[in-house]
Amino acid sequence: MIDLTSPRVDAATSVLGIETSCDETAAAVVVGGHQVRSSVVSSQVDIHARFGGVVPEIASRAHVDLLTPVIAEALVEGGFHGPELGAVAATYGPGLVGALLVGVSTAKALALVWDVPFVAVNHLEAHLYAALVEDPSIELPAVVLLVSGGHTMLISMEAHGQYRLLGSTIDDAAGEAFDKVGRFLGLGYPGGPAIDRVAMEGDPKAVAFPRAMRNEGLDFSFSGLKTSVVNHVRKHPDAATEDVAASFQEAVVDVLVEKARRAAQQTGARGLVLGGGVAANSLLRERFLSACVEDGIHGFLPSRAMCTDNAAMVAAAGWWRLRSDGPSGLDTGADPNLRLPLLTD
Ligand code: KG4
Ligand code: ZN
């Protein structure tokens, strides 16, 4: 039986993080919530590319094959033996249920064998912590623009574990729009990095795509933009793909940056932080930093590797959760629809 009493959690506490929520199999060792000793990511992109998107059953099987060697590499590189760890943390949601189960079951088994605590981590919370891993000096409250394949949210991070939702997408996530438009333009999967690349050769002013809900609060909408791209290409079959990609990307980035800076102004945040896979986008990174300089706010951009799915952010979020809530029970299951715990008052 595992001990559920809160262990001492301090700067020397090491956490093995495990991430298997979608198509990256990742493990990392992080000490004290921010010192990354190792971070190994094995991408399944090549396995899913020929299907044009992630095939859940294939993802689960690939995680089964890849996770043990990925964990072994993270431990060797990090210089840790399992029983020396302070805890094992794994993403338990949101994500693909079969994929999540592989990480959660492995983490619980290792925690039991090594006799160390298990910590269940919310994948969205892990993305929020990505920036803090690289810059622990970020002052709270900070506004985080979390833009991933499944989510587009503006969150006020008021203190550790205290999040207020300022705005979110009412339909598609920004990453989903990149992936759908990328597929429609024949750029393959995932669409985000492909559009980022192709857009560099195009004219962002070639097509004036709509900026939905631009003046309506802090929520987003991207599904109309995707439809506009499809309609434009059907009407102008000779339009250069580079121009369409650049114009689409410009429209997404315009809205994301405008709403993020508005959120920071409205909340009086000390910092503005980017997180999630779309935060790897070159134009978004450039515009985001210029906006922060213009507005005199401390902007923080995690490295590209920290924006996309990785286990260092899971280990970091796990360290904070272990400190605030103690270990998770071994009866904790995968929760594909898990939400970010939000302040409601
Ligand atoms: O955070 P993430 O790795 O996984 C989720 O939790 O969803 O985000 C994946 C998303 C995909 O939609 C992918 O196309 C997008 O991030 N993405 C990008 C770029 N790199 C990844 N979108 C735009 N530009 C990029 N460079
Ligand atoms: Zn993610």
pLDDT digits (tens, 9 = 90+) for 177-207: 999 999 999 999 899 999 999 999 999 999 9
308 lines ligand 1 (CB under 6 A): yes
Distance 267 CA to ligand 2 centre (A): 25
Residue whose CA is closest, atom 24 of ligand 1? 281
Q: How far apart are CA 301 and CA 312, in angstroms?
A: 16
Query: What is the CB neighbour count within 10 angstroms for residue 58?
Result: 16
280 lines ligand 1 (CB under 6 A): yes
Specify the range with the lowest mean pLDDT, choosing from 46-60, 75-89, 316-330: 46-60
190 lines ligand 1 (CB under 6 A): yes
276 lines ligand 1 (CB under 6 A): yes
Q: Give start and end residues of each alpha helix (H) in 236-270.
A: 241-267
Please say whether the beta carbons of 146 and 276 come within 8 A.
Answer: yes
Judge whether residue 340 has pLDDT over 60. yes
Average pLDDT over residues 218-222: 97
pLDDT tens readout for residues 235-249:
999 999 999 999 999
Distance 134 CA to ligand 2 centre (A): 17
Distance 22 CA to ligand 2 centre (A): 8
Confidence at 49, pLDDT banded by 50, 70, 90:
confident
> Minimum-distance ligand to the CA of 173?
1
Strands 24-31 and 14-19, bridge-based pairing = antiparallel
14 lines ligand 1 (CB under 6 A): no
At 105 the pLDDT is: 98
Whether omega before 83 lies within 30 degrees of 0, making that bond cis, reads no
Distance 33 CA to ligand 1 centre (A): 24
> Minimum-distance ligand to the CA of 195?
1
Distance 190 CA to ligand 1 centre (A): 8
> Minimum-distance ligand to the CA of 152?
1
Collect all residues with Cβ–Cβ distance below 8 Å to 183 and sequence separation of at least 6.
52, 53, 189, 191
Average pLDDT over residues 57-74: 97
Type of residue found at 217:
G
> Minimum-distance ligand to the CA of 182?
1
Q: How far apart are CA 326 and CA 338, in angstroms?
A: 19
274 lines ligand 1 (CB under 6 A): no
At 35 the pLDDT is: 98
Residues paired with residue 40 on neighbouring β-strands, in sequence order:
27
Residues in the chain, how many? Answer: 345
Pocket test for ligand 1, best of 249, 278, 306, 310 (most atoms within 8 A of CB): 278
Residue whose CA is closest, atom 10 of ligand 1? 149
Distance 167 CA to ligand 1 centre (A): 19
Q: How far apart are CA 25 and CA 61, in angstroms?
A: 11
> Which DSSP letter does residue 14 get?
E
Confidence at 345, pLDDT banded by 50, 70, 90:
confident
302 lines ligand 1 (CB under 6 A): no
CA-to-CA separations, 64 to 90, 214, 229, 258, 314, in angstroms, rounded: 14, 43, 38, 42, 19
At 7 the pLDDT is: 82
Distance 68 CA to ligand 2 centre (A): 21
Type of residue found at 290:
S
Distance 308 CA to ligand 2 centre (A): 6
Give the ligand 1 atom nearest the CA of 174: 12
More confident of the two residues 338 and 7: 338
Residue whose CA is closest, atom 21 of ligand 1? 277
Q: What average pLDDT is seen over the chain? A: 95
More confident of the two residues 85 and 8: 85
Residue indicated by tokens 């338990």: 92
Distance 123 CA to ligand 2 centre (A): 6
